[in-house]
Amino acid sequence: MKQKSKAVTPEMVKKLGLLPEEFKKIKEVLGRTPNFTELSLYSVMWSEHCSYKNSVHWLKTLPKDGPHMLAKAGEENAGLVDIGDGIGCAFKIESHNHPSAIEPYQGAATGVGGINRDIFTMGARPIAQLNSLRFGNIEQERTKWLLKGVVKGIGDYGNAFGVPVVGGEVYFDDCYNVNPLVNAMSVGIVKQGNVVSAISEGAGNPIFIVGSSTGKDGIHGATFASEDISESTSEKLPSVQVGDPFQEKLLLEASLEIIKTGAVVGMQDMGAAGIICSTSEMSAKGKHGMIIWLDKVPLRQVDMEPWEILLSESQERMLVIVEKGREDEVKKIFDKWDLNCVQIGEVTKGERLKYYWHGEPVADVPAESLVLGGGAPVYIREYKEPAYFAKTKKFKIDDIKEPDNLKEIAYFLLKQPSIASKRWITEQYDTMVGTKNMSTNVPSDAAIVNIKGTNKAIVLTTDCNSRYVYADPEIGCEIAVSEAARNIVCAGGEPSAITNCLNFGNPYHPEVYWQFVGAIKGMSTACKKFKTPVTGGNVSFYNQTAMENHVEPVFPTPVIGMLGILPDKQFQMTMDFKKKDDKIYLIGQSRNDISCSEYLYAWHKIKLSPPPYFNLDEEYNIHQTILGLIKKKLINSAHDVSDGGLFVSLFESAMHRDLGFDITSDAEVRMDAFLFGEAQGRVVVTVPADDEDDFLKFMTGRKIYFCILGVVKGKQMLIDDISFGTVAEAKKVYENAIPDLMKI
């Protein structure tokens, strides 16, 4: 292959992130030394971000089969689940961590745009968005800058695109000071039979690039996402893409319109690695080749070289394969929406990708050799238990003196940024556009989104307490899946499937890889228990900060995005106390356990302890019990006990209607553990007084621990006849914590 370009050198190979053995493999595949363009293609497609070369071995161990699956992990751009009534639900979560660390507004905005394109390229209309965000110490000016930029980026893009943000989570910890985590989830629905595959087939079929023009933004963005963040990271600002939500809205409508014509053979968005990713993945899947004329690609910068065009990650672009002879149908639709629709190639027999520039060949590679599941390398890295893990087991609750200032601690916890109200954030999102959000004004543990024209709704959540995962990756990830399922159930939904976003440090560090392997094992165990197969997701390694003498990884953060189905909207359940004199019950047992709690971590400053009490079988049985109570209409509210413990859960249920509570503590459990411990497998429910006998009959045969806590009463928060203030006083602290810290 002749090309007038840079000579390939060992230094160039290293700079592009390829290992010496990978360069050797490339030469073996091609039967020659690659030119610079070809080397660039392999560098992005074999980067961790695209190839999952250090994770795919373990990802394959995750459960992928379930009763509702329409498309399994890896088969399409996103997972696809049957929700009944001839409707499929496509959903996926992905990270945009590194771009957000250096340009938070565009990094977050283009993360939202990219995940939405994954949904509508399948023919599904996005109807809901969620996010999972992690930031450092909120008192630091850089954290405030990152938080403002990320939230505004998510809000501006999502609001303009017209899809509501219905849920999510935000945590703060010093480990994320330099490297925030920005995980975006999109959910869409599609009629079964209207799904479009990301495939290339049919020799002679034309290949179109549609949407925006191509520029130099985002070049080597996939490679950038596969590196540590360091002091020089800001120099890689061109690796951050620039988004245009209005263009994406036009692209959405045009894409769904051309799908209805039946002229589309295959379609894929251009996310990480741009044209080279779309052409190689579609070709490998369809076992066909392509000829691509790069000089036909619409450009917004005139001085772009072929390799830059191939690697550009400019946003709002798609690759579409059309049935030969139906080109004009497709062009007319894109003309109507004022979008580019330019033929840049055609499908060929064989499996080679051939790229040309003004008639001259610039690259010729086999598609299969580039992609995950094909010729991309697969590694099983060394892993070992880190030294800190043994130290977590040395923690003993008896070493912590029981406090007598419980009210002070309670209000301290309500002010912690990870627990306090996120209204300052959520008010910047449009939560109601599309009029399908059923949980904006009636708060539930998970978001509930109406499926119009049916009696169903979908229930959505994102969950992960990364402190638990750091303490014990396997148990911590089991808890993450279990909490997601618990939130779905407390909203009345039945867990169906998950997507995940696996955020970890450098996989070449054995201690980090140990965390990753443990998390995968825990996820597998819990997903099998709840019958929630993994439909796909994203792996994001290299989330850490390169310091002068060492590297500091973030907490392992395997975020779980879970989809549940509410089979009948009459069974929607909310968390808020409904009326005075309702009885308050705790399902699940309080324990002498403050391990890994916000109370232990933030108040006592003890950073190492095991995860809180957790039993997967107990958890599952409690979920079935809650669903049974909801279907028999025996409870008025349900809210799980999680971050901050029982006091925070009671307060969150009380604040929405300004209804207080009067409860009695458990004499067998020390008060700080009773109020602030985070032992898992607990749900607070309220029972109408008239239904209490039926409730007790139902519960008696379940072999589930439960106890009465007290009663919904007045506006005070009373615990053992001691006032913890009024609900309104606590709400003021809870609502103002983040605005005060952000100096709004």
Active-site positions? 49, 96
Cβ pair 86, 217 in contact under 8 A:
no
Nearest Cα to Cα of residue 606 among 357, 394, 342: 394
Rounded to whole angstroms, the Cα distance separating 210 from 317 reads: 6
The DSSP element (H or E) to which 500 belongs, if any, is strand 494-503
- The three-state secondary structure class of 487 is helix
- The three-state secondary structure class of 125 is strand
- The three-state secondary structure class of 587 is strand
Rounded to whole angstroms, the Cα distance separating 465 from 641 reads: 13
Rounded to whole angstroms, the Cα distance separating 444 from 161 reads: 25
For helices 616-631 and 473-490, give the axis angle rounded to 10 degrees.
Answer: 0
β-sheet with 494-503: strand ranges across:
447-450, 457-463, 557-566, 494-503, 534-540
Rounded to whole angstroms, the Cα distance separating 57 from 500 reads: 16
Rounded to whole angstroms, the Cα distance separating 167 from 448 reads: 9
Structure tokens, 163: 């899809």
Cross-strand partners of 308: none
Structure tokens, 235: 């120099």
The DSSP element (H or E) to which 365 belongs, if any, is strand 360-366
Cross-strand partners of 437: 449
Cβ pair 665, 586 in contact under 8 A:
no
Q: Count other Cβ atoms within 10 Å, centred on residue 707.
A: 12
Rounded to whole angstroms, the Cα distance separating 340 from 348 reads: 23
| Alpha-helical regions (H) of 491-615 | 510-530, 598
The 3-class SS string of 145-182 reads HHHHHHHHHHHHHHHHHCCCEEEEEEEECHHHCCCCEE
Nearest Cα to Cα of residue 499 among 44, 96, 131: 131
Q: In which residue are the tokens 């579409």 written?
A: 320
Residues 6+ apart with CB under 8 A from 23: 13, 39
Nearest Cα to Cα of residue 271 among 448, 38, 99, 464: 99
Rounded to whole angstroms, the Cα distance separating 144 from 626 reads: 39
Cβ pair 500, 559 in contact under 8 A:
yes
**DSSP code string of 625-691:** HHHHHHHTT--SEEEE--TTHHHHHHHHHHHTTT--EEE---TTS-HHHHHH---SS-EEEEE-GGG
The DSSP element (H or E) to which 486 belongs, if any, is helix 473-490
The DSSP element (H or E) to which 72 belongs, if any, is none
Rounded to whole angstroms, the Cα distance separating 268 from 276 reads: 12
